[in-house]
Chains A and B, each alone.
Chain A
């Protein structure tokens, strides 16, 4: 093991065993996959996406492009786990991605040899001949792409969501975030502070600085203790603030179990926080960026800050010798850290001229400093063996002199810092280029938000602490709290961040010749690719991104994007601010699908299931169910060995010949009261309502303002100013909102009140010649005589002492009584009716039989026989349209196209062969032998075998159908043929309505 004997955040008393690529390794509690592998001197950890070049760990956090692993196997496997942030646990199974058969011997590395033929966008220029081969080419390309593997089993874990409101949300728990939380928390504000790392502390976790004369980690410990003691402060470690939406709505993905050994896990795997914050403090820090040079992707080349982190936080001895290459002051600390870790030789190469103040401390510990030079190339393939350096011109634009080779195990590089302005950008803010600091920073806040510390391009520790404290206080005050200043702790020394921009080491040859130099390692985007894009006219940064794939990886370009923009500017001869940055989109880092879906999956799908009061009875009696809107409705009730046809035939015959019973509870029911109810209904329905008698029912059509049928149903006048409306099952909610809309916005002067009572009533439709006897035997207080209680009348009575309303309305064309009772007595009522009907063999029937029965009578089902393009006139129901009054949709019926006489119209269809049942959805033509495209007359909307009629029947919409009775047409069949049929009336049974009036 390559470890420093002591120090850091790892617990050396707690070894952790894990496997990588089938081989066992040991790390310590507190290690990430990346640190543990480095501690085991495993430098080659993956293969690149396009060229399959060997790759190593580059960063120490969210910016990592290479260290992506497949963790665990089977149902628990997770693809593309970022090893720089994932902790190890006992018996963890880790594999590399994108290498076969193994990371050390990868067959696909052959692509590397052909890399010169695979520049950015090469696929747009080839694979075009022969045209039909693209699918084969694509298959090969697909096999080669992608990173990790998706699980192939359902996820055994579950996920939860929580909604939270707070006064101050702090994103990031580094020094500035902690200070913000502390000062807002002390003021009494409700604070949520979340950080993506395993531990709160940010850069303090790997810092060798002193705060209040104590090690930074000691100050951190005390601060966390105080925050934990404040009841108004919620600390969320392992919680990534990944989305910043409108009105200060932010989302946090909290990982709850992934850090635990499999056996220790319980409860939800992740929790999605949906937070509304009054004030937001973004303390998200900054990402270091590398300087780009030849073969800068070799395992062992890493960011300077990452080298410090592995050394200080994880106690990893990164090797025996190192080259640190920088254009700024911050990497000087890295050189000190590496030397202090026990390396024998550390060389710092600074692109800038020498600065005695900086150099002095390094010299004192034996670090060699070389100025005005640059690393031009790295020697070694599977790991760094040496760095080559050359002199750099004063303007930084050329190199000269002889190459000097420095043997080393790692090359640590720093090209400066990019503030993590992702959340700021998501909030709607515009990033601005800061020439002095050579970085994009946040502009003006567009929501109640402030950025602090490194996220605000204030990189020094003292600035972080100060800005954090101020922001926390201001946020608390803005949220309505009084507070004093928070004392800013003293900081020993604060390393400077002075910088002279250097984005890439200049090369003697133009980009595209010589060693590959990578800008985006995950997507294998090199300097030459950016130059190629610029050469081909892709000048917008967005074009270059899309053409080269720069920044499209799982790291979202956190490491390479800004360098890529700078290099594009160089290629175009523009300034960086002219080139501009791209907009950052959520997510800050990738978030598990399961966490975003949350618990609302499967049976809990966000759409609730609605069941009637009789549902259990239906289940117990073998019903199969149909989804209608949100409702589960009995579809049919098969008896032993019956198929759907046999069951439906039996149910239909029972209704026609004796008595059947159907659960009609799901129909929408709305009570309409108030003195203007009649006037209101006159506008809502196409027909007239004011003269309807009390306790009498009427059928009505509701149209949209476009004149098309929207809903239909029977409405009963219960009293002078009280109506009871039925809607379709699926339309109930929208009809309610529709009527409210008109009442509240257009006719507020009408005194009308609407109450949805769908769930208040359970309804049983008792239909058939024997229905009168059944209802009469269980319901008291109603005279069921055919004249005393005629068709389309409504009566109140008692069933076992319970009030019921009985409506003599019919959707089957049979003598029928719909019995309504308070919903919680629904099942009792149902059982009473079943018992009373036993002697007539009362037969429960479902929606399928209902469909057949109504089709036999030519009754329309809105949504099946209509489709949003059908008027009542098209349906042959012009009689339901009032000529004298206005109503919603009336004007549209007079438009030139809508008033045409030859529109598609609702007709019956009888196949010439009565046994042939047409397929619903079949298309209808005049002449089957015409050439394709074949002009279509319309389609079959409903089709059944009718046991009662003794043949097949169908309903259809046919062009000019009302004028074509008796004509022969041809209807498509599933075997791509046609079958002949004749257009008929829609009524196939009892045209005089004798049965329902019986």
Chain B
């Protein structure tokens, strides 16, 4: 029996019908522009939380020590002015997000999902299984957005991200994340609400995963302005000056923090502060000293640091 090429092609189609029944890849229900909802935790993500308010964060002692050396004036450093938000922070920011997908023109398989945010314009790529994109080697530089892979489980997009640059957990607080940080997300949509559950793990600076759910509302006619960041010397400082505080000093609480009434011990965070039983412990904590006293104590510490920096013994 001889098969002519045309029949061979037809037979090939039949085989293709068998092998093409692969798991779903093409879903577009999260594509589009999304506006962040500000009903939850937004005070942490506008200008940044108050200095020293770490309540509810599963920090290690190492993270606290680093945060205590932080000075928010570092934002004025030219080297850091245009630093983009990393993948572990950008979705939590109060900023419009755009999501789009790329599909293979022949198979219609979803190759990648990309996101960008209006503020600081971080551009992230989530590689889907059909991309067969190679995992970065250990010697490749870590990046602000890291390396993300995704898969659909029903209507939920599961994303895993690693290969990140060292960054920060929350803005303007100096809480560190190291380059072994990973993030797992579950992204899904109800009606016109998008939910991004972020689980951030860092064996160095977090004693358990930090879990955060960010909510967005769909924007039918979305738009996004460009973000042309450029460096300007807004606050004149000596060349080479790096704002920081010497180790082992208490945090520089401000008046806004004091007004919120969070007990100083609770503000140090730690995973014990995340669970309901901590409410009973809160009752036992002493009231905070008046802000005037806090400020006087902090000024004394600053004077001591200044004396040390000038080579004088306090």
A and B: partners? Answer: no
- Contacts from A to B (Cβ < 8 Å): none
